Structure 1
Amino acid sequence: MKTRIALLAATTGVFALGACADINGQPRQINKTEQGAIAGAVVGGLIGAGKNKETAVKGALLGTAIGAIGGSMLDQQEKALKQQITNPNIQIVNRGNYLSVIMPESALFATDSAAVGAAGQNDLYTIGRNLTQYPNSTIQVIGHTDSTGSQAYNQDLSERRARSVAGILTAAGVAQGRLATVGRGAAQPVASNDTVAGRAQNRRVEINIYPTK
């Protein structure tokens, strides 16, 4: 049974990847829509394989469709966000199955503060309007700090900053039920805390957008 499941997953993935060539048959980099379709096909096939062959095929096909829709939506939303946000310090990263909007401390807060400045509020209202235009998603707001100070202080600051950002998104029209907040303190650095530049990168808020259909 495990062998058949693995074979189905592999076959589904290969089939989807096989379509990702240009008109001359040469390989090319797949886009996020295609990545979503492949992931959906594999997951759908794995679920269906636990039942019977027909169900497995249906699951793979359904998974392909759902994955492609999700990937296409992320591509569209990513493009819109990049057009709408003019602050060059804000990063928009398409992770394949979700979007991540990465806002450095300097775009939002004064040092050791959880109060969002005027420019940061404008950017968050822009993001909020985008989120209302693409309502089929849930949003996780994650606060991060550098390692300066105590662990307890950093944890509290990261939580307060995440809540402040989520509050502004709610004020911009995003349904509160779509939002969740979490603080990571200094636990998930993206750069070395041994340098000024590295600590600046670590002080950030990430707005992660997960499509629901």
Structure 2
Amino acid sequence: MHKTLLILTLAAAMALAGCTTLDPYTGEQKVSSATKGAAIGAAAGALIGNVTTRRDRTKRAMVGAGIGALAGAAVGNYMDRQELELRQRLEGSGVSVTRVGDNLVLNMPGNITFDVNRAEVKPDFYEVLNSVALVAKKYDQTAIEVAGHTDSTGSVEYNMDLSQRRADSVARYLAGQGVSRVRLDTIGFGPHRPVADNSTTHGRSLNRRVELTLIPLTL
């Protein structure tokens, strides 16, 4: 995933290579801060636009690993049962469960999952992830997209990296609990998918999160 981000960032930077400034102290040409930000933003945009392709790739990998696909009415019933179990196990944990069509989205607020500017999952949160892993292993016809998000404080580059590292940490933990890696995909969106107003303290706290999107493997 980090390699993908690097490639996209470099491609964006090359497209913007003509946007340089002259350093008044060294006399050397250098890429301006605005151009660097635009390059990172272009890379993030490419990642966001590639979500459908990534999900399809994960599903193909699952099929290749011998995981059978769901069909017809079985999909809704399968996700209904999975949703019920997740709601029961995660009640009072601070993690919300939202149904979006046939997908389930688990919203894990950053303040209960990670310390400030850290990417290691808090030990206090292990029990919650253990519960998610138990359900995920039971419903193994589900792909799991782990997405990291940040607020807009700090540089875009830093936030893109932090969000990716946090998503990777959650995915590693789930894999360590027995969730097949072929079902897991991680992506860092940085500040590019806010769910609240970044100009307020409360809004920023809502934007700092990790989301797990559970997607049924369908024909």
TM-score bracket, normalised by the shorter chain, equals 0.5 to 0.7
Tell me: CA distance 1:87–1:167, structure 2 relative to 1, closer, same or farther (3 Å). farther
**SS of alignment partner, residue 98 of structure 2:** strand
Which 4+ runs in 1 deviate beyond 6 A? none
**Structure 1 counterpart of 2:205:** 200
**SS of alignment partner, residue 125 of structure 2:** helix
Superposed, 1:70-109 pairs within 5 Å as: 70-109=75-114
Give 2:121's aligned amino acid: V
**Structure 1 counterpart of 2:180:** 175
Asked if the contact 1:146/1:186 (under 8 Å) is kept, the reply is yes
Q: Which has the higher contact order (CA 8 A, sep 6+)?
A: 2
Where do 5+ consecutive residues of structure 2 fail to align? 1-69
**Structure 2 counterpart of 1:133:** 138
C-alpha distance in structure 1 between counterparts of 2:72 and 2:141, whole Å: 14
Where do 5+ consecutive residues of structure 1 fail to align? 1-64
C-alpha distance in structure 2 between counterparts of 1:110 and 1:95, whole Å: 29
**Structure 2 counterpart of 1:149:** 154
C-alpha distance in structure 1 between counterparts of 2:92 and 2:158, whole Å: 29
Asked if the contact 2:93/2:128 (under 8 Å) is kept, the reply is no
Deviation for aligned residue 1:211:
0.6
C-alpha distance in structure 2 between counterparts of 1:210 and 1:177, whole Å: 13
Identify which of 108, 119, 128 aligns with 2:124. 119
TM-score calculated relative to the size of structure 2: 0.66
Give 1:142's aligned amino acid: A
C-alpha distance in structure 2 between counterparts of 1:143 and 1:93, whole Å: 17
C-alpha distance in structure 2 between counterparts of 1:175 and 1:75, whole Å: 22
Q: Which has the larger radius of gyration?
A: 1
C-alpha distance in structure 2 between counterparts of 1:152 and 1:132, whole Å: 34
Asked if the contact 1:74/1:94 (under 8 Å) is kept, the reply is no
TM-score calculated relative to the size of structure 1: 0.68
Deviation for aligned residue 1:88:
4.1
String of CA shifts for 1:149-197, please: whole Å, max 9, x gaps.
0000000000000000000000111001100000000000000000000
C-alpha distance in structure 2 between counterparts of 1:83 and 1:97, whole Å: 19
Higher mean Cα deviation, 143-152 or 113-122?
113-122
Alignment pair present for 1:189 and 2:194: yes
Deviation for aligned residue 1:67:
3.5
Give 1:208's aligned amino acid: T
Give the total of aligned pairs: 149
